[in-house]
Amino acid sequence: MQTEGQKKNRAEREVKDDEAKKKRRRKKTGTDTKTGDKAVDNRTIIMSFTEPPSLEDIETLAKSIIDALPDGLERYIGRLKIAVEDFPDAYTEQELELETPFDILGYYESAGPAAIGHLAAKKDRRDTLHLFRRPLLDLWCESGEELTTVVNRVILQEIGHHFGFSEDEIEMYEEDMQAVSPEFDLTA
């Protein structure tokens, strides 16, 4: 049989345990532990994905970013084709001497001058921007930045490096895009 003191101690422990559980739950859900208000940790990724973004999600995002590029870049990219794969193919890995397929986020492939023979007959010869989903998602999670920001930066850097822009010029375009970057809702 428990004494009154033991019952009181047990009740106090249960209350403390309940408070500790609530506190842990609030931390997990991003609720401020003192005020109960929703708080967002600066490392929290704020997007409405219940599962990782798909190849199609990344492509949709990339096309939206391309459509929103500053006018000064349009003359460089023309009708840029977007290709999103999980990883680069074995040939690309070997050519670029990658240690792992996670070492590259994307690359700009030029269609080059008009081809000879059967390739010349292709009317859809255009530059292609290759983006690699898994390395992009890894960077997204590691950096804590919005996925839009990560993909935007990769696109601008690939275009800039391909056309010989200086780092200052690329940074200027990044700042321009951040100032006007729309929010992209890929879950709709």
Residues 6+ apart with CB under 8 A from 25: 31
pLDDT in tens, the chain (188 residues): 666 666 566 666 665 555 555 554 444 444 444 444 443 333 334 455 678 999 999 999 999 999 888 888 888 887 889 999 999 999 999 999 999 999 999 999 988 764 444 444 455 678 999 999 999 999 999 998 999 999 999 999 999 999 999 999 988 888 877 765 544 333 33
CB 128 within 8 A of CB 107: no
Sketch the domain layout of the chain as residue ranges: 1-39, 55-180
The two structure tokens encoding residue 94: 């070997």
CA distance 125 to 143: 35
CA distance 130 to 111: 13
Angstrom CA distances, 135 to 15, 36, 49, 53, 124, stand at 46, 36, 17, 12, 28
**Span 55-180: which CATH code?**
3.30.2010.20
